[in-house]
């Protein structure tokens, strides 16, 4: 009898189970897309595949697998942030109507976070909610956007202002898909990874600070560990506070995942959404660390560690293209704000996020001046 060769653990997929009222699995590995039909099950007759035109070639194996099992409608949407509009969502609804899409049918998204946000929102809103499985194709979508059920689109007033919580029925993170991802987009994804390190997992920071950033490629075991650890951070927070109603014992609950995002979203809006989200998150985390330092919450060394950790992986840590007043006005539409009061997630130390409500305007302005390079 021949003994089958043992499979090195690194090539076996990892499965992170997300508990709660609608449990699902996040599968992480190389070449895991063949699990898609298993996740969708036999119930759907029709599947709508939401993807940008630019990724159609990359999606060919997924499309072929779906076509072998279901009637497939392709919902081809604009690339990137341009997909996150009411007009694109409405066009998707019309196509689902024409295809006779029922509640037992399902949506599959294939793309970066913009595609999973839009496709997730279409799935959340069509017939008040149909099953969705995400196949994220960027690092950022694998570690963050595809997991946890936040979906949404932008409006003229700001980022992600319309949306719904709609948990996926499964998430397939096929690391092989990252082989074609431009380096600058992979680096942007590291913005959310480093954020996870600061709010909950110091080992992520150690890995980022001791690994040659150029070695973080699609086949790198360290990148895989970073993905697994970041997804674990997200899942643990989301399971404890799915709908962002608040944490306990001083922990901000799901709002912790919004670390750096108050300023990040304001910058993205000021940039007309031409700056990558992960880049804005890096700048936003540096800003809020400086705010926390000025408010007497965070020590100098940890605030400075923010600048070095994000810069080390190639992310921006300075921004001066919009003035303080413009960014302050944009921050007022942040979902964490209550009435006229701005609320920020700040750190008291690595792994200990808390909410800072109504900070001094002088502290906000001082942190802006450091962020914009006016002050050291
Ligand atoms: N819902 C959430 O919890 C959540 C979390 C974080 C971010 N987001 C959202 O995610 C969006 C950012 O996502 P993103 O950084 O993935 O950007 P993105 O979706 O705009 O994708 C970036 C670019 O990469 C291209 N691309 C994607 N996969 C590729 C591949 N494998 N090979 C080659 N090119 C590829 C895309 O076509 C696009 O041009 C933002 O809208 C942000 O608000 C949502
Ligand atoms: O999942 C969450 O919760 C997050 O805050 C994760 C963020 O990285 C993400 O960018 C999210 O879309 C921001 O949410 P929003 O509620 O500020 O729109
Ligand atoms: Zn984000």
> Residue 187: inside a domain, yes or no?
no
- pLDDT grade for 7, boundaries at 50, 70 and 90: very low
| 214 and 325 co-located in one domain | yes
User: Are 252 and 336 members of one domain?
Assistant: yes
Pair (174, 209) in one structural domain: no
Token look-up 């991802």 returns 181
Query: In this structure, is residue 1 part of a structural domain?
Result: no
Q: Report CA Rg, the chain.
A: 20
Q: Are residues 209 and 82 in the same domain?
A: no
Collapsing DSSP to helix, strand or coil, 27 comes out as: strand
Q: Which of 153, 180, 207 is the last residue of a domain?
A: 180
Identify whether 91 is part of a domain.
yes
Given a contact cutoff of 8 angstroms between Cβ atoms, the answer to whether 91 and 50 are in contact is no
| Helix (DSSP H) and strand (DSSP E) numbers for the chain | 13, 11
Question: Distance (Å, rounded) from C-alpha 67 to C-alpha 320?
Answer: 49
Catalytic one of 265, 276, 297, 343: 265
Distance 335 CA to ligand 3 centre (A): 13
* From 51, 57, 113, mutation site for ligand 1 pocket: most ligand atoms within 8 A of C-beta: 113
Q: Which of 229, 269, 277, 297 is catalytic?
A: 277
C-alpha to C-alpha distance for 171 and 149, rounded to whole angstroms: 11
In a domain, 352, yes or no: yes
Strand partners, 72: 47
Residue 218 belongs to domain with CATH number: 1.20.1090.10
Average confidence (pLDDT) over 174-195:
98
**pLDDT over 80 (residue 8):** no
Same-domain status, 281 and 321: yes
* Ligand 2 contact via 116 beta carbon (within 6 Å): no
Q: What does DSSP assign to residue 257?
A: G
The pLDDT value recorded for residue 2 is 37
CATH number of the CATH domain containing 161 = 3.40.50.1970
Tokens of 80: 């990137």
Q: Please indicate whether residue 294 is annotated as part of the active site.
A: no
Shortest CA distance to 307 belongs to which of 366, 243, 367?
367
CA–CA separation, 277 and 282 (whole Å): 9
Structural domain contains residue 333: yes
Q: Which residues of 197-225 are buried (b: 16+ CB within 10 A; e: fewer)?
A: bbbbbeebbebbeebeeeebebebeebbe
Q: What is the mean pLDDT of the chain?
A: 96
Specify the pLDDT at position 362: 98
Asked if residue 159 belongs to a known ligand binding site, the reply is yes
Q: Is the pLDDT of residue 208 over 80?
A: yes
Of the candidates 258, 276, 290, 294, the residue annotated as catalytic is: 258
Which ligand 2 atom is at minimum distance from the Cα of 163? Answer: 18
Q: 254 an active-site residue?
A: yes
Active-site hit among 30, 234, 297, 336: 234
Nearest-angstrom CA–CA distance, 16 and 105 = 25
Angle made by CA atoms 165, 144, 128, in degrees to the nearest 5: 20
* pLDDT tens sequence across 248-296: 999 999 999 999 999 999 999 999 999 999 999 999 999 999 999 999 9
Cβ proximity of 173 and 146 under 8 Å: yes
Q: Note the helical H segments in the chain.
A: 36-40, 60-67, 86-98, 113-125, 139-140, 183-199, 202-210, 221-240, 261-270, 277-294, 300-312, 324-331, 361-371
Tell me the pairing of strands 343-349 and 352-357: antiparallel
Residue 274 annotated to the active site: no
Q: What is the ipTM of this complex?
A: 0.99
The band of 10, judged by pLDDT with boundaries at 50, 70 and 90, is low
Return the biggest CA–CA distance within the chain. Answer: 76
Tell me if 186 is assigned to some domain.
Answer: no
Task: Tell me, yes or no, whether 185 lies in a domain.
Answer: no
Confidence of residue 1 (pLDDT cuts 50, 70, 90): very low
> What does the pLDDT look like over 56-115, one tens digit per residue?
999 999 999 999 999 999 999 999 999 999 999 999 999 999 999 999 999 999 999 999
Assess whether the C-beta atom of 353 lies below 6 angstroms from ligand 2: no
233 and 353 in a single domain? The answer is yes
Structural domain of 57: 9-180
2 burial (CB, 10 Å; 0-12 / 13-18 / 19+) is exposed
Query: What pLDDT shows up at residue 5?
Result: 47
Q: Does residue 372 have a pLDDT over 60?
A: yes
Q: Are 166 and 124 in contact (CB under 8 A)?
A: yes
Domain total for the chain?
A: 2
Gap from CA of 222 to ligand 2 centroid (Å): 25
Question: Do 206 and 299 sit in the same domain of this protein?
Answer: yes
> Taking residues 338-354, what's their average pLDDT?
98
Same domain as 161, residue 221? no
323 & 347 share domain: yes
Residue 356 maps to a domain: yes
Percentage of the residues of the chain whose pLDDT score is greater than 70: 97
Single residue among 150, 180, 210 that ends a domain in this structure: 180
pLDDT at 34: 86
To test the pocket of ligand 1, the residue of 139, 145, 191 to mutate (highest count of ligand atoms within 8 Å of its CB) is 145
């Amino acid at each position: 009898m021949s003994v089958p060769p043992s499979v090195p653990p690194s090539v076996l997929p990892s499965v992170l189970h997300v508990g709660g009222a609608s449990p699902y699995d996040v599968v992480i590995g190389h070449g895991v897309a063949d699990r898609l039909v298993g996740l969708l099950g036999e119930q759907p007759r029709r599947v709508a595949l939401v993807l940008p035109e630019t990724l159609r070639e990359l999606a060919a194996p997924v499309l072929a697998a779906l076509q072998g099992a279901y009637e497939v409608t392709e919902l081809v949407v604009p690339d990137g942030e341009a997909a996150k509009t009411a007009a694109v969502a409405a066009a998707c609804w019309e196509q689902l109507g024409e295809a006779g899409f029922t509640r037992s049918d399902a949506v599959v998204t294939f793309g970066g976070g913009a595609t999973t946000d839009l496709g997730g929102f279409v799935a959340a809103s069509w017939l008040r909610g149909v099953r969705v499985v995400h196949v994220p194709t960027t690092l950022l979508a694998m570690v963050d956007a595809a997991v946890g059920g936040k979906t949404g689109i932008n409006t003229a007033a700001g980022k992600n202002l319309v949306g719904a919580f709609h948990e996926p029925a499964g998430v397939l993170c096929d690391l092989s898909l990252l082989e074609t991802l431009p380096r600058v987009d992979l680096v942007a994804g590291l913005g959310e990874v480093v954020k996870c390190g600061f709010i909950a997992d110091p080992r992520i920071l150690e890995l980022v600070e001791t690994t040659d950033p150029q070695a973080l490629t699609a086949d790198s075991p360290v990148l895989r560990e970073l993905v697994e650890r970041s997804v674990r951070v997200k899942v643990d927070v989301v399971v404890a506070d799915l709908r962002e109603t608040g944490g306990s014992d001083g922990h901000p609950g799901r709002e912790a995942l919004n670390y750096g995002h108050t300023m990040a979203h304001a910058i993205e809006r000021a940039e007309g959404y031409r700056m990558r989200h992960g880049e804005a998150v890096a700048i936003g985390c540096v800003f809020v660390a400086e705010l926390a330092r000025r408010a007497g919450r965070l020590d100098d060394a940890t605030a400075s560690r923010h600048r070095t950790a994000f810069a080390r992986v190639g992310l921006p840590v300075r921004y001066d293209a919009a003035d303080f007043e413009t960014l302050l006005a944009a921050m007022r539409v942040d979902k964490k704000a209550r009435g006229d009061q701005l609320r920020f997630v700040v750190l008291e130390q690595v792994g200990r996020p808390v909410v800072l409500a109504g900070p001094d305007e002088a502290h906000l302005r001082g942190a802006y001046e450091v962020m914009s390079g006016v002050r050291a």
